[in-house]
């Protein structure tokens, strides 16, 4: 097997201002792909305890007093010395007021990718309002599509706006800007927001409202809980099984496994009036066996029926596919490992390069302000504490030997 090359973002330097989940998630995606990420934490007179941020994989931290000219000068110097990416997770105008807006920093370093992430649109009616994931998907329209027919709309925790529409979308924008920089030689501002990100993710479902695919109202359609053969069912032992037998050949395999052949179900698949009765029949049938018994029936078939697994069993049952891996496999330049493993064991292409991190992808690590910062600054710039910079009252400040922008 050919030895894999370095991770794809090796050599890319990222400054990530500490923030809530979406910003750190974008930074973690960059770090997992090999970028060198420094989180900029708030300074404290004493060494602070780790923050609540658990998305710290492969990152380091420095603590900076952003309200002090010493702190803003430190950030500007890092930008001037060749930072490639900056992640701004704050509400509009915060970094501008500190003198660290894109106009200032792009003059200092025209190659900088200035990534900005907000919840609401910067130019919309909600721009100056506080909000959370549930609010962003609410005004995007996506929340109106989620939930059962006879209940209120339900958010899928904070996956859709914070992480998919927010952090992952910003990550994609940063990659596009890095690619564009190879041609133009210039950086740019990348603006992502969770309203547009969530709305974009809902493109197919939104189109379905006009095409008939989702025209029957929330929770009454083929893919949103209305259809009995695209549904989850409780088993005899209180666990659950998922069913997604949409195509006729898959549906036939499903009812064969359920022992329901020759009951006319195949002819009734698209008769909406028959769906409630079919759902009741499937519900009663799945309750007759344990999840393990249903697995024995459906494993290896094309019934599109699979167990609903929880993370506890994925983490602890070696027979399950619970070993956490990078989100995508790059055959020549794989990302970093996110599951700790002894060197030489497991395929570094499929599982990621390197030793991985503690927690095996199931438990996030903590990062106190200043953790790993000295080492990272030396790797980035050859700086050493007491020479180019020092730490005063918990804050990193420049000393002689650098330009002090």
Sheet hosting strand 85-88, strand order edge to edge: 59-64, 36-42, 13-17, 85-88, 113-118, 188-193
Q: Contact at 8 Å (CB) between 12 and 85?
A: yes
Written as six digits, the tokens of 288 are: 């007759």
Q: Contact at 8 Å (CB) between 351 and 339?
A: yes
Residue with tokens 């479902």: 205
Reduced to 3 states (helix: H, G, I; strand: E, B; else coil), residue 297 is: helix
User: 162, 196, 224, 371: which one is catalytic?
Assistant: 162
Please tell me the distance from the alpha carbon of residue 161 to that of residue 150, in angstroms, as a whole number: 24
Tell how strand 395-398 and strand 389-392 pair up: antiparallel
Reduced to 3 states (helix: H, G, I; strand: E, B; else coil), residue 139 is: helix
The per-residue DSSP string of 326-345 comes to -SS--SSS--B-SS---TT-
Q: Contact at 8 Å (CB) between 170 and 86?
A: no
Write the DSSP symbol of residue 255.
Answer: H
Q: Contact at 8 Å (CB) between 351 and 24?
A: no
* Active site (annotated) includes residue 310: no
Stated as kind and residue range, the H or E segment containing 234 is: strand 230-234
Backbone angles phi, psi at 305, to 5 degrees: -130, 125
Q: Which residues are part of the catalytic machinery?
A: 162
């Amino acid at each position: 097997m050919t030895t894999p090359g370095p991770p794809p973002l090796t050599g890319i330097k990222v400054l990530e201002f500490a923030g809530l989940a979406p910003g750190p998630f974008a930074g973690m995606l960059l770090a997992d792909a090999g970028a060198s990420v420094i989180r900029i934490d708030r300074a404290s007179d004493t060494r602070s305890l780790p923050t609540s941020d658990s998305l710290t994989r492969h990152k380091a931290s420095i603590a900076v007093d952003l309200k002090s000219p010493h702190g803003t000068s430190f950030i500007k110097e890092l930008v001037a010395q060749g930072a490639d990416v900056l992640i701004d997770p704050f509400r509009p105008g915060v970094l501008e007021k500190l003198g660290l807006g894109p106009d200032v920093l792009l003059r200092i370093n025209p190659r900088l990718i200035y990534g900005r992430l907000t919840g609401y649109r910067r130019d919309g009616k909600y721009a100056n309002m506080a909000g959370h994931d549930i609010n962003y998907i609410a005004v995007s329209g996506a929340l109106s599509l989620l939930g059962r027919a006879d209940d209120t709309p339900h958010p899928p925790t904070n996956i859709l706006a914070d992480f998919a529409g927010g952090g992952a979308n910003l990550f994609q924008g940063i990659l596009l800007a890095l690619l564009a920089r190879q041609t133009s030689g210039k950086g740019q501002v990348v603006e992502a927001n969770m309203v547009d990100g969530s709305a974009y993710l809902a493109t197919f479902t939104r189109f379905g409202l006009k095409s008939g695919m989702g025209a029957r109202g929330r929770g009454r359609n083929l893919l949103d809980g209305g259809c009995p053969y695209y549904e989850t069912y409780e088993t005899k032992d209180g666990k659950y099984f998922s069913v997604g037998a949409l195509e006729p050949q898959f549906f036939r395999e499903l009812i064969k496994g359920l022992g329901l052949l020759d009951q006319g179900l195949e002819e009734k698949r698209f008769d909406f009036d028959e769906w409630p009765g079919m759902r009741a029949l499937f519900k009663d049938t799945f309750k007759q066996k344990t999840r393990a018994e249903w697995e024995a029936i459906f494993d290896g078939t094309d019934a599109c029926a699979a167990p609903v697994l929880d993370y506890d069993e994925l983490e602890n049952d070696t027979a399950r596919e619970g070993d956490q891996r990078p989100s995508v496999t790059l055959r020549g330049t794989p990302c970093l490992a996110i599951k700790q493993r002894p060197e030489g064991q497991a395929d570094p292409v499929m599982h990621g390069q390197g030793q991985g991190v503690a927690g095996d992808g199931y438990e996030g690590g903590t990062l106190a302000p200043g953790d790993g910062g000295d080492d990272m600054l030396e790797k980035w710039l050859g700086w050493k504490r007491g020479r180019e910079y020092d730490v005063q009252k918990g804050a990193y400040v420049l000393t002689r030997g650098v330009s002090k922008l």
